Amino acid sequence: MNFKKIYGLILGVIVAGLTSCSSDLNNEEKAPVGPNETAVRSLSIATGDAKTRSEVNIDAGNKWVAGDRFMAFNRTFTGSSSESRYGVLTASSTGTRTTLDGVIACKDNDELGIFYPGSYVTGFDQGKMPVVMTKSYINSNKGQDGSKENLKYFDYSYGKGKVTVNGASASGSVDMKKLYSVLELDFTAGGVKLTNIKKLVLSNVYTEAVYNIPNNKLEDYETGAINVNSPVALEKVYVAILPQNHFSPTFEVYTADNKAYRFTVNDPNFNLVAAKVYPITVAVKEFTPNPPYIEIDGIRWGKYNLQYTPNSKTVGWKDGYHLAKNPWDYFYTESSPMNLEPNVVKFPSSNADNAKFDHFRWGDISKAHSFAYDDKDHYDTSVENIEKKNSNNEYGDIAYYASKGDWRLPNAAEFESLMKNTTEYIGYYPSEAGDVLGVLFVPDGVAHGKIIGKNGQVVGNSNENKNISGFSGKNYRTSTIVRKFTAEEISKGIFFPATGTFTNYSSGPTNLNNAGRMGYYWTADCFNATQAKSFTFQFTANGRVMFATVGNSRADDIFPPKNNMYSIRPIYIGQ
């Protein structure tokens, strides 16, 4: 990204004079107070309804407004503990110069640190002031809206000055400077300027800090995202932002026509400094916000399992088919996953050919979701990989067919790539329906190709046909291997829930096998006419954890029968 020439100071230097004041004594006599003695010096001018803001104009100068409030902190205070070394001062008039009224203990030549906006802040040491760029500490948590007018709500300023005591009065001056910068942003897509911007998300930037008045510095920085939401469509976006070295943000732009664009600075060789305006043109590219996949080693792995719901319609999918709402969702969730007998209500087979279901036979298209007894042998008997295959809408890749070509079954090599290029974690997610055990693969760079336990220990290698003692009995929650996942943790990787299998074809009521304890997911690869390869893992009733593997037979080349109904986690191949 090329930055244009920076122009001018945002506000320059604003001088605010400290008004003279008389001493405030505790007795009725007007006893003299020496200039080198610390005394509470009360400023004489008061104001009415304080507005606590300044007028910010990056084109035509700026001014303080009567009622603006400042925090003053005496940095060289030598008074008693009963006297306050800080106080709130109020601007008495509007203009580029103003006087400040208030009360503070001081003596001759004391140095005052001044901060705007000033007020007593609950939860902070007085003298340590919050500087928040996501919501306005100045104006009732108002957010940034991208306009010039909105900048005044983030007008954090600081300065210092010395007081001169003359008998019972004191005076001085302070040079106020700005703690923040302003980005003046234009966006183009394909060389065309965007003129209908409704929202900007600026991430990997400082969102807040604390200004330490005694030490005259910003500290305790927090990094995150600034959300800029405009009530009107914008051609240019103004953002107040804290200075930052090696500035490397991501810009996400959302327009009034429901399009989204993104650009990330990958070469952080630029430093933002305070009190500058940076006019920047950012060339963005259109993207899909919150895509239903995560790209790992060039493969866009879906976050959700394939499901079938009768009579449902989802854009881009054949009637009935869709992706699960959450990564941990599966139909007929087992509420107590370590029970040998399922707690779920057994579902009748009378409507088995058109019930909601998310387990499928290998290579079946026309009857893929049916668990009716008469359909148990309806599968593809070919001995070839079935990626993107569609044989007369009868046999082939159900994910490819159901998604109209945007998704497909992964092959065994792609599962191997997933495990090689991620860190594997074993755990559970506490869903509303019950704990959902599973495995999570995260491209976090921690220990790719390894399984990491709850305490950060290496448990083993991914894709090894091994098992270990994971917990005692059914107490997986106390395990040193099985961790409790949050939704945020799961959002950063690919989570496979232990959804069980379906093999109990029956003319009467039936149920899933090992729901909540065992995960089987089909690949597009087969072994022979009746057997195919799967990705699998499980938690046994005696507390052992069987590692996730792909393509491994149980013994003597016994691969899963194609008429077993397993889950499907598709990969995205659309545009």
For the chain, what percent of residues have pLDDT higher than 70? 84
Where are any strands of DSSP class E within 336-422? 390-391, 395-396, 407-408
Q: How far apart are CA 167 and CA 37, in angstroms?
A: 10
pLDDT given at position 54: 60
Q: Is this prediction's pTM over 0.85?
A: no
**Which DSSP string corresponds to 75-124?**
TT--S-TTS-SEEEEEE-S-BSSEEEE-EEEE-TT-EEEEEES----TTS
d(CA 494, CA 502) in angstroms, rounded, equals: 23
| pLDDT, tens digit, 9 for 90 and up, residues 431-452 | 998 899 999 999 999 999 999 9
- pLDDT for the residue 438: 97
The b/e string for 103-115 (b: 16+ C-beta within 10 A; e otherwise) is ebbbbeebbbbbb
Residues 6+ apart with CB under 8 A from 481: 426, 453, 454, 459, 468, 470, 471, 545
Residue 75: φ, ψ to 5° = -75, -20
Q: Considering the chain, what is the average pLDDT of its residues?
A: 85
Distance from C-alpha of 301 to C-alpha of 347, rounded to nearest angstrom: 31
Asked if 246 contacts 153 with a C-beta cutoff of 8 angstroms, the reply is no
Alpha helices in 96-241 (DSSP H): none
pLDDT, tens only, 135-191: 987 777 789 999 999 998 998 989 888 888 776 666 777 878 889 999 999 999 999
Residue 3 has pLDDT above 60, yes or no: no
Q: What pLDDT band is residue 19 in, cutting at 50, 70 and 90? A: very low
* Mean pLDDT (whole number) for 95-111: 81
Task: Provide the H-helix boundaries in 105-195.
Answer: none
**pLDDT score of 559:** 87
CB 20 within 8 A of CB 41: no
pLDDT band (50, 70, 90) for residue 553: low
pLDDT of amino acid 513: 87
pLDDT digits (tens, 9 = 90+) for 206-253: 999 999 999 999 999 999 999 999 999 999 999 999 999 999 999 999
Taking 70 as the threshold, does the pLDDT of residue 124 lie above it?
Answer: no
Distances (CA, A) of 169 to 45, 220, 406, 574: 13, 37, 78, 76
Contacts of 154 (CB under 8 A, 6+ apart): 133, 136, 138, 144, 180, 240
Is residue 170 within 8 Å of 41, Cβ to Cβ? yes
> Averaged over 195-215, what is the pLDDT?
95
pLDDT of residue 343: 54
Instruction: Give the C-alpha separation, 47 to 139, whole Å.
Output: 19
At 280 the three-state DSSP class reads strand
What value does the mean pLDDT take over residues 193-212?
96
The residues that bridge with 496 in the sheet, in sequence order, are 439
Dihedral of the alpha carbons of 175, 176, 180, 184, in degrees to the nearest 10: -90
> Given this model, what pLDDT does residue 320 score?
97
pLDDT band at 15 (very low <50, low <70, confident <90, very high): very low
pLDDT (0 to 100) of residue 275: 87
The residue among 252 and 7 whose pLDDT is bigger is 252
Is residue 536 scored above 60 in pLDDT? yes
- How wide is the angle at C-alpha 171 spanned by C-alphas 36 and 48, nearest 5°? 125
Whole-number Å distance between alpha carbons of 258 and 228: 16
Smallest CA-to-CA distance from 89 within 31, 30, 172, 167 is with 172
